[in-house]
Amino acid sequence: MDRFTRALRSWGVVLPWPKDGWGGLSTRQQVGLVIRGVAQTVVLIVAARDLRRRPRDQVRGSKWLWAPVLGMNYLGIGPIAYLVGGRRRGSHPG
């Protein structure tokens, strides 16, 4: 196991997948994975909807470049990057 993987595991970001699959996870781990999955999906949907509706002049950079960034959904990094840094201040697209 490399240093990067060890660091992610120590932070609780990456869990080793048990040999017997989903059933090998504790109830707490299963609930955590479901909550994280739902949260990531919600953030992705919000960001994609905003990107689609927002006028081109209210987006920092190209909408075509932000679209694949939204796909980087590990921990919600892509959608959060767009929501925090990809939108210009001003009126909401409504």
Burial class (CB in 10 A: 0-12, 13-18, 19+), 58: middle
The reported pLDDT for the residue numbered 60 is 93
Q: Could you report the per-residue pLDDT of 30-77, keeping only the tens digit for each?
A: 888 888 889 888 999 999 999 999 999 999 999 999 999 888 766 678
Q: Are 48 and 86 in contact (CB under 8 A)?
A: no
Residue 45, domain member (yes or no):
yes
Closest CA to 67 of 59, 75, 17: 59
Q: Is residue 94 part of a domain?
A: no
Q: Can you tell me the distance from the alpha carbon of 8 to that of 26, in angstroms, rounded to the nearest whole number? A: 19
Q: Is residue 20 part of a domain?
A: yes
pLDDT tens-place string over residues 8-30: 666 666 667 778 888 888 888 88
How many structural domains is the chain composed of?
A: 1
Residue 21 placed within a domain: yes
Note whether residue 62 is domain-resident.
yes
